[in-house]
Structure 1
């Protein structure tokens, strides 16, 4: 399972960081770092983080990757 974050859409609300800190981390004041592979046992947290994103910048799925979306 893969994760893609549209960093142009991301506004830095950091809801994902609170819900899945093993995958998402703040980087500076308005930037985000993330691990593109869902960690083992972390799928539910990553999906919750994607659902909580107010601007829907997070895509989770097997097809998430270059050219997806």
Structure 2
């Protein structure tokens, strides 16, 4: 599995979407942007680090947390 943590990438602000599991009440919030790779960031710190993973790794993660 290939992943890395980067400072903000050149992903358009309009590409990011908040997880449907985020309550919006100031708790844990995750935003995701999907391009050739999947970018994940903390929605409360949008200028902070970005975790970048491949589509297969993202699909595996989502499969584990939604089952």
* TM-score under structure 1 length normalisation: 0.26
Structure with bigger RCO (C-alpha 8 Å, 6+ apart): 1
Larger radius of gyration: 2
